[in-house]
Structure 1
Amino acid sequence: MKFFINYKLIGFFMSFLVFGCVHADGAKRTLSAELNPNCPESICETKNENNATTLIHVRADGENDTLHYIWDLSRQPSVLVALCERDTNVTINWNETFMDVKTVQFTIKPKYTMSFVLTKVFIFNDVTDQASIIGVNKSNIETIDARELTWTREEFNKSTNEVKVAVSGKDDASIGCNGVINLKLKCYNEEDHDKETPHLLHSANVTQVDMEFIDLIPSDTKFESIRIAAEFVLVADSETTKTPFTINKRKTVDDENTPGVFTLIDINTPQVKNNTHASYLQYRPISYTEQSRDITKRTDVHLNQPDFLDDAETYLNLSIAYSYYGNTLDQYLVQSFNVSFGQREDKFYSNYTTWTFILGYGTSPPEHVSMFIAILACIGLGIPLLLLIIGGVYLAVKRMRNC
């Protein structure tokens, strides 16, 4: 009795093992973007010295709905996210004070909205080397109000696959002539890891924010143990204004994309409207102390528990959140939180710190291994299994021959 090995069958079997392990999310959106949409010449051209007016509307069309992103990077850097019907449009009512209360309007009321605002940056003297601003005496803190910085547009690129904008914030009085805060915002049309370290996983429903704090050491400071922290505010639709955001810390399967980091932090808003709508802020608890963003130049990120914000209308009066929600802000869930950068005995802040995070609608996509790792794993499991099958067939055939 002859025994033939069907190599085509084996090849098909191996292909199934390899590519069957790889998962891809097919959900995509088509992006379009506009800089300072319908802004009068008297506001965005005559007064727009050094690209100082940067308001971008991004439309992300899906099969059944549209996400509208409005990035306001001229005043308090802020983001508004609105989930809408496909045929919903946005109107921005410009005025001589740039924008005011209720100047952002949708032709159809959004199904869900959330907003994010950078309010303050802190330079603090960490005399106890605790790497956190929590509990630090006010005399050891210098505050930079984001409203007082001059934000200049450095880059704006758009396509149907990705939209990106970069701005820099400066103010000689508060952060010195060399100090600068850089912000880079991106959104995408599909799920993937970002190309830049720390390579966060994004879906088609997110804005990624990358921050750099460069040379924020005033020449007249008396602080000897300087660290950096920042304050942010999140606004979200909620069934009640008293249900706080929740913080979820979870482990990831590997550190292929961010070497040495196996943790993800999610700040989740409460689900509303029949548990179908929610949003989140996600990051890996890592910061880099040099622009190369090498693993050897890393430090930690510390988050405090979010607090409810009183008098949000006044606090956010120069943000896109105020331009949309206006005097109804107290009807939404509004909380602030601080993020500090550093770790014990890391020689404190020198001249560079960065932080990257994602603002997303819905729930954060689960981490999964890349195609390369999946192929290696499948081959590693598939070849021994295939050899086992071939060996079993060979022994069975040999036994039949001996009968």
Structure 2
Amino acid sequence: MGKLNIFRSFGLLIALSVFGLMLVDAAKRNLSAQLNPGCPDSICESIFEDEKITVVHVQAEGDNDTLHYIWDLSRQPTVLVALCERNTNVTIGYNGTVKDADSIQFSNKPKYTMSFVLTKVFIFNDIKDQASIIGVNTSNIETIDTKYLTWTRENFTESTGEVKVAVSGKNDSLIGCDGVINLKLKCYGEEDHDSDIPHLIHSINVTQVDIEFINLTSNKTFESPRIAAEFVLVASESPKNPFNITKRKTVDDEHTPGTFTLVDIITPGETQGSYMQYRPISYTEDSRDITAKTDVQVNEPVFIADAKSYLNSSLAYSYYGNTLDKNLVQSFNISFGQTQDKFYSLTNYTTWTFVLGYGTAPPERVSMFIAILACIGLGIPLLLLIIGGIYLAVKRMRNC
């Protein structure tokens, strides 16, 4: 009976330990979304799929505040995030000439805003096989401005727990007849890991962006082609202090096999801030298997001298307008691939996933499976030690 009680106590200890390890913040946001809210049919409804505007407004209601996400995927793909008081309304104006959203107004001034813009995609000739666009001669770089791509909406779904939209960008003269750039955006009502590889962790304050570069071809003859992209981050913070890039190790690679590193691009704000987070890997096949894993290189962010001119085709300009230069605005390049991987032309496929969030990035947590294994691995030797100690103590008592 004594041994049975010991096992029962030990089982309870394991259960409590696992529960403690898995205890997380239960904060939630209730999501509601609209596609092209307030847009006249004469602008947003077209009989031609490739002329349809895709502007998504997501309202994420929390206990004390509301996050407004506005995704403009009609010209230069842009994400705008605004932290507002509850019951704040948003008005979006549309431009019938260029077919996009040209003004954003909030009924209450946002407490904090940040924006992300995919401005350019590069096909470059990596003659030195350095897997980075930094230092490559301009004659070996083909630049594709994303505002010249035709973005077609492929999918839009919404619920109180998750909102998703997908678009594809094409231009035969810029990226080839079979070339396409796919974008998938998601936001969430609860903290968890995403269901798709690389299973990034997300809080209730993020937008996840997944990009696929498929069959891109250059007008130039490149024998060693690679893909890179330019992104611009905007934050309602001092324009003098730069974004910081930090790398940190994770305790395991359960969610992204073979990768133990997370990269954060963080604003310098002390009281409020935002971040971009990713694992430094991309995949060269749509299966996203570990055997198709390759590297991601990022350069240090640089300031943009005339941001309002540089971003005048984006939703960032539609919101910030001429005050854009009074905010923190920096660009950075991401290069995909690693040395001796036979370049982009081997599979003509590259994908990359990252999240954009308000506040601070959530820490990685072990899953229930790993927690149970850890408890068993540590607990069984401890249990044997306790039982052995009890056995020796009882034996000595009987010999006395």
Q: Is TM-score (shorter-chain normalized) higher than 0.5?
A: yes
**CA RMSD after TM alignment:** 1.7
Residues 213 and 350 of structure 2 are in contact (CA less than 8 Å); yes or no, is this contact kept in structure 1?
yes
Name the residue aligned to 1:354.
351
The match for 1:331 among 312, 317, 326 is: 326
Is the CA contact 1:17–1:382 (under 8 Å) kept in the aligned structure 2? no
1:44: how far off? 0.5
Once the two structures are superposed, the pairs formed by residues 27-38 of structure 1 within 5 Å of their partners are 27-38=27-38
Q: Determine the C-alpha separation between the residues in 2 that align with 1:92 and 1:184.
A: 22
Residue in structure 1 matched with residue 125 of structure 2 by the alignment: 125
Contact 2:46 2:52 in 1 (8 A): no
- 2:241 maps to which of 239, 243, 262: 243
Contact 2:55 2:101 in 1 (8 A): no
Q: What code does the residue aligned with 1:231 have?
A: E
Q: Tell me, in whole angstroms, the C-alpha distance in 2 between the residues paired with 1:37 and 1:304.
A: 37
The one-character-per-residue Cα deviations of 1:45-86 (angstroms, maximum 9, x if unpaired) are 147644631000011111111111000000100000001111
TM-score, structure 2 as length reference:
0.95
Q: 1:3 to 1:188 in 2, by over 3 A?
A: closer
- Contact persistence 1:206–1:359 (CA under 8 A): yes
Which is worse superposed, 255-264 or 148-157?
Answer: 255-264
Quick one: which amino acid aligns to residue 259 of structure 1? P
1:3 CA drift (Å): 5.2
- Amino acid aligned to 1:181: I
- Check 1:243–1:371 CA distance in 2 against 1; reply closer, same or farther (3 A cut): same
Q: What does 1:106-145 align with in structure 2 at a 5 Å threshold?
A: 106-145=106-145
For residues 38 and 87 of structure 1, the distance between their equivalents in structure 2, rounded to whole angstroms, comes to 18
CA distance in 1, matches of 2:48, 2:189: 30
3-state DSSP class of the match of 1:21?
Answer: helix
Matches of 1:9 and 1:290, distance apart in 2: 49
Q: CA-to-partner distance for each residue in 1:114-138, whole Å, 9 max, x for gaps?
A: 0000000001111111111111111
Q: Which residue in the other structure is 1:234 paired with?
A: 233
Q: Secondary structure at the match of 2:373?
A: helix
Which residue identity lines up with residue 297 of structure 1 in the other structure?
A: A
Q: Which amino acid aligns with 2:260?
A: F
Aligned-pair identity in percent equals: 71
1:168 matched residue in structure 2: 168
User: Which residues in structure 2 correspond to 1:191-340 (within 5 Å)?
Assistant: 191-218=191-218, 220-238=219-237, 240-271=238-269, 275-340=270-335
Is residue 388 from structure 1 mapped to residue 381 from structure 2 by the alignment? no
Closer, same or farther in 2 for the Cα pair 1:48/1:236, shift >3 Å?
farther
> What secondary structure sits across from 1:12 in the alignment?
helix
Question: How many equivalent residue pairs?
Answer: 396
Residue 359 of structure 1: CA displacement?
0.3
Deviation at 1:382, TM superposition (A): 1.5
Cα distance in structure 2, aligned partners of 1:334 and 1:295 = 35
Partners of 1:69 and 1:137 lie apart in 2 by 38
Question: Displacement of 1:99 after TM fit?
Answer: 4.8
What residue identity is the alignment partner of 1:287? S
Task: Kindly state the Cα deviation for residue 315 of structure 1 after the two structures are TM-superposed.
Answer: 1.3
Q: 1:158 to 1:51 in 2, by over 3 A?
A: farther
**Structure 1 CA distance for aligned equivalents of residues 258 and 31 of structure 2:** 34
Q: Is the 8 A contact 1:52 1:150 kept in 2?
A: no
CA shift, 1:370, in A, is: 1.1
Preserved CA contact (<8 Å) 2:18 2:368: no
Letter in 2 for 1:74: S
User: Quick one: distance in 2 between partners of 1:269 and 1:17?
Assistant: 36
Offset, 1:173: 1.1
| Aligned amino acid, residue 19 of structure 2 | F
Are the counterparts in 1 of residues 277 and 355 from structure 2 also a CA contact under 8 Å? yes
For residues 109-158 of structure 1, the C-alpha deviation after alignment (integer angstroms, 9 at most, x for no partner) is 11100000000000111111111111111111111010100000001011
Match of 1:287, SS state, is: strand
Q: Which amino acid aligns with 1:255?
A: D
